[in-house]
Amino acid sequence: MDRVLILDVRDVTFRYSGVARDALRGVSLGVSSGELVALLGPNGSGKTTLVRVALGLHLPRSGSARILSRAASEWSRRDLARVVGVVPQREDNLFPQRVRETVRLGRYPRLGAFGLERAEDRAAVERALERCDVAGLAERWLWTLSGGEYQRVRIARALAQEPRLLVLDEPTASLDLRHEMELFELVRRLVDEQGLAALLVTHDVNLAARFADRLLLLSDGNGVASGTPTEVLRREQAESVFGWPVAVSSFDDRPQITPLRRPS
Amino acid sequence: MKWFWLVAALLAALLAGIGLGPAAVPISELWQSPIVRDLRLPRALLGLLVGGSLGIAGASLQSLVRNPLADPFLLGLSGGAGLGAVLAIALHWGGPWAIPLAAFAGALGALGLVFRLGLVGGAELDPRILLLGGVAVGAFCGAVMTAIVSLAEASELRNAYLWLWGGLSGASWDTLRVIALCLPVPVTALLASARPLDLLVLGEEPARHLGADVRAVKRRVYLAASFLTAVSVAVAGVIGFVGLIVPHLGRALVGGRHLRLLPASFLAGGTLLVLADTLARTVVAPRELPVGIVTALVGVPLFAVLLRRWTAY
Amino acid sequence: MRQRAHRTHLAGRLVALLGVACHGAAPRSGTVGALVLRDDAGRVVRLAAPARRVVSLAPSITELLFAIGAGDQIVGRTIYCQYPPAALQVPPVGDGLNPSVEAIVARHPDLVLLYRSSHTDAAARQLEGLGIPTLVVRHDRLADIARTGRLLGRATGRDSGGEAVGRAMDSLLARPLSPVHARIAYVVWDSPPIVIGGGSFLDELARLAGADNVFHDITTPSATVSIETIVARDPDWIAVVRDSAGNEPPAWARRPEWRAVRAVREGRFLVLPGDLFGQPSPRAGVAVTALRDRLSNTTHPTSQSP
């Protein structure tokens, strides 16, 4: 499969208004089709800011953020939503909603004139439900789902957009081991089978190392390392970024990090 | 099927509103009677349009400010309308339409002020700012109104409060013509915002990611829903409860998708108000009950029944 | 909230609940000079002697004091006490609704007269605490005027004046004028329409003038009705009470929904002056005559067709 560069962030610097220091300093990030890239870093290192700049929600002070070679901020929200599906960290569920209804919302950027739903929209919703293995839950109310089911439903909604890039912001926070694994397997499968590009923001270094093709390690607004897991997760690198002594081992040919007990 | 029942209920309410009243009109003369032609029919139709406006405005505003307790009158419009009415009386603005027009102007003034407050410092109609601004503007208008009323000596002025609770007694074909001209644009604007409102309920950032132009949608929805409320308050005073409960009735009946919810709220709001007004006119005849009290008496039990169905998924 | 309490002044006076009949005569005085009185709040009030310095906290009380001949004993009034014109010579002590005890005490009264409402009970207690006797009265119907007139007569040593007012009211009530077959609806407010019911003195005035209030069957002083009900009752006249001058029909008469009422269509309005018809007063006889005159002088009202 030909790799197409979908997200291309180059040398971006960004500062929030009214704040004295840069939130991002000269960070670059590329994501191509059929590739899963994980964005790693401690709290406050700039992961969410980088995603917002990449999606055109913030304008960089310098550098560029492009999606399919067009500046991210120039895309209309509707056009962009046909290319990029996002599963945000948080959202409200103010009023009760069923699973299929929420997945249908993903069709919004692709609806025809007068917002009418066509057969292809309904088919895309069913496809997305199937792919995320939630077709059986389609008639359930959202509030009756487990955390893992709920996250899969939200990924299904992003898939209903039929995007070329999937962005997931901390999708496994507060999930147990099995649901976490299921979710990572699902994303990996979508990348491999559908040729999707995926950008995964996560705290989980070890799972990122096992599932991602490439990692970008952020620290204090700087991109300190990027490349394959083996290139990025070197011991001294990880220790300096996370501020804790670690040991690096290997499992399935992927580096795994074990934090050490601090000698008392 | 649900739509059939919604429409059937509305037609039944309209028939009841036309057929029932404190004056005895034989069924055979129903269509010739001036009481029916000049009083009951315009009043029932006005109830339909005002109730429908409040229903659809309430449903959109609840989604806009993402608060299921929001009511169209929460955003300061009733205070502005009351102040307008009091000024019209205090300054002896003559003419039979002076008070409704002044109330409408007052409501629009409050609408503009809250809108402006909602944009302060790039707040972009942040729901919290909108709600706080609405409550503040409403309280301020209410304070000015009370000051005028208590300082003035004109006895008519003390009755200005009554006007705010006027109900549908001002219905006539002229009133209907005016409101029928005012409704189509804002109602269309709200219906056209149905899809993006579905997204907005998730939160602003998720809505953006799903392709909604959040800024434009919020402005459009706020202005259209508030305009409908201002028209309602000018022709019928403050009618509580319809804009608060009807959207929830709508959600229980047809679900949360705005393409269904908004029309359903319009139909249900119209039905509830026509029905409540018919009861208000007839149950204690020759006297009349305040219609806002009857909307609550009819709406709450109905809501309780539907709430049970709704939670028994 | 519908706050009926806000329906004040004109409407408020009408809405007020009231004891319809006068409950027995006032108690007899004990020793010579000293007085024992029972007021409309049910309190027993003792005066060492008839009052010489009186503060009146309601326009209707001021008018009544002048009517019984005690006008020159008034040392304080409210800003609303405008009748009779002589009342304007008396220094005002406030608006009477929220009595200012300080301003009242400064007038050194030996009796304060209050109109009974939720506000006045506290003020009466405060004044009593300062050793100033108070009488709380309430007169919503014409019979109450007779009773209050006699009570105030005794309290101010104008027994004969009070008795005269009382007798005048009694005889007015006992001898209604011959029927003129005029059916009246008093419309106090147009949106929502509020009319006067059988519980109001205005209903009595209509009856005494030989007319009928079409809403006599509603027992409260006032009530909200729909225009349809007014159409069905089909009054010959719409009576409106107005404080400001002018004889023209109210602005709402030109609203289309009101034109369903025959009397509105035909322009049959009785615009009644607020100083005479806004409250029950010892001039009720004048009011009855004025109303009767309006009714008989305009038996064929000029029709104001649109």
Q: Are A177 and A164 in contact (CB under 8 A)?
A: no
| Cβ atoms within 10 Å of A1's Cβ, excluding its own | 7
Residue in C10, C194, C232 nearest the CB of B22: C232
Q: What mean pLDDT is predicted for residues A129-148?
A: 92
pLDDT, chain C, mean: 83
pLDDT for residue C9 is more than 70: no
Report how many Cβ contacts below 8 Å link chain A to chain B.
80
CB–CB of B154 and C243 under 8 A? yes
Tell which wins on pLDDT, B154 or A38: A38
pTM of the full predicted structure? 0.85
pLDDT band at residue B122, thresholds of 50, 70 and 90? Answer: confident
pLDDT band at residue B25, thresholds of 50, 70 and 90? Answer: confident
Q: What percent of chain C has pLDDT over 90?
A: 53
Residue-wise pLDDT for B38-47, tens only, equals 999 999 999 9
Residue in B42, B96, B173 nearest the CB of C252: B96
pLDDT for residue B125 is more than 70: yes
> How far apart are the C-alpha atoms of C236 and A10, rounded to whole Å?
88
pLDDT for residue C3 is more than 60: no
Tell which wins on pLDDT, B125 or A87: A87
Indicate the range of A14-23, B199-208, C4-13, C143-152 predicted with least confidence.
C4-13
B153 in C contact zone (CB under 8 Å): yes
Closest A-chain CA to B202: A92
Best interface-test mutation with B: which of A52, A84, A102, A108 has the largest number of B CBs within 10 A?
A108
A101 in B contact zone (CB under 8 Å): yes
B154 in C contact zone (CB under 8 Å): yes
Residue-wise pLDDT for C228-266, tens only, equals 999 999 999 999 998 777 788 998 899 999 999 999 999
pLDDT band at residue B1, thresholds of 50, 70 and 90? Answer: confident
Q: What is the DSSP letter of C191?
A: T
Residue-wise pLDDT for C167-184, tens only, equals 999 999 998 899 988 999
With beta carbons under 8 A apart, name residues in chain A contacting B257.
101, 104
- Can you give the pLDDT at residue B313? 42
Residue-wise pLDDT for A95-109, tens only, equals 888 999 999 999 999
Q: Are C50 and C157 in contact (CB under 8 A)?
A: yes
With beta carbons under 8 A apart, name residues in chain C contacting B146.
none
> How far apart are the C-alpha atoms of B6 and B17, rounded to whole Å?
16
Residue-wise pLDDT for C68-85, tens only, equals 999 999 999 988 888 899
State the Cα angle at C3 between C79 and B152, rounded to 5°: 30
Q: What percent of chain A has pLDDT over 90?
A: 76
Residue in A81, A96, A104 nearest the CB of B209: A81
With beta carbons under 8 A apart, name residues in chain B contacting C253.
96
CB–CB of B35 and C232 under 8 A? yes
- Can you give the pLDDT at residue B298? 85
Hey, which chains touch C, using 3+ CB pairs under 8 Å? Answer: B
Best interface-test mutation with B: which of A76, A89, A104, A105 has the largest number of B CBs within 10 A?
A105
Q: Are C21 and C287 in contact (CB under 8 A)?
A: no
- Can you give the pLDDT at residue A173? 81
Could you tell me where the DSSP H helices lie in chain B?
Answer: 2-19, 34, 41-64, 77-90, 98-119, 127-151, 155-158, 160-164, 173-182, 184-192, 194-200, 204-209, 214-236, 242-254, 258-282, 291-311
> How far apart are the C-alpha atoms of A180 and A211, rounded to whole Å?
12
- Can you give the pLDDT at residue C1? 38
Closest B-chain CA to A81: B211
Q: What mean pLDDT is predicted for residues A26-32?
A: 95
pLDDT for residue A195 is more than 90: yes
Q: What mean pLDDT is predicted for residues C273-282?
A: 88
pLDDT band at residue B75, thresholds of 50, 70 and 90? Answer: confident
Around C147, how many Cα atoms within 13 Å sit in the side-chain half-sphere? 22
Residue-wise pLDDT for A44-86, tens only, equals 899 999 999 999 999 999 999 999 999 999 999 999 999 999 9
Closest C-chain CA to B168: C192
With beta carbons under 8 A apart, name residues in chain B contacting A96.
251, 256, 310
> How far apart are the C-alpha atoms of C300 and C296, rounded to whole Å?
9
Residue-wise pLDDT for C89-123, tens only, equals 999 888 777 778 888 999 999 999 998 877 777 88
Interface of A with B in 177-216 (CB under 8 A): none
Mark out chain C residues that contact chain B at CB-CB < 8 A. Answer: 2-3, 6-12, 80, 188-194, 215, 217-218, 223-229, 231-233, 243-244, 251-257, 259-260, 274, 278
Indicate the range of A227-231, C29-33, C48-52, C283-287 predicted with least confidence.
C29-33
- Can you give the pLDDT at residue B158? 64
Q: Are B278 and A117 in contact (CB under 8 A)?
A: no
Which two three-digit tokens encode residue B229? Answer: 């409320």
pLDDT, chain B, mean: 88
Indicate the range of A206-220, B19-33, B141-155 predicted with least confidence.
B141-155
pLDDT band at residue C161, thresholds of 50, 70 and 90? Answer: very high
Q: What mean pLDDT is predicted for residues C202-218?
A: 95
Total H helices, total E strands in chain C: 11, 12
Residue in B66, B210, B255 nearest the CB of A101: B255
Contact between chain C and chain A (3 or more Cβ pairs less than 8 Å apart):
no
Q: What mean pLDDT is predicted for residues B51-63?
A: 95
With beta carbons under 8 A apart, name residues in chain C contacting B40.
228
pLDDT band at residue B151, thresholds of 50, 70 and 90? Answer: confident
With beta carbons under 8 A apart, name residues in chain B contacting A157.
210
| Phi, psi at A87, each rounded to 5° | -110, 95
Tokens 């007139």, located at residue: C149
What is the full DSSP assignment across B142-166?
HHHHHHHHHH---HHHHTHHHHHT-
- Can you give the pLDDT at residue C256? 92
Residue-wise pLDDT for B241-256, tens only, equals 899 999 998 988 898 8
Hey, which chains touch A, using 3+ CB pairs under 8 Å? Answer: B
Smallest Cα distance from B31 to chain C, Å: 15
Q: What mean pLDDT is predicted for residues A124-153?
A: 93
Hey, which chains touch B, using 3+ CB pairs under 8 Å? Answer: A, C
B123 in C contact zone (CB under 8 Å): no
Q: What percent of chain A has pLDDT over 70?
A: 98
- Can you give the pLDDT at residue B100? 87
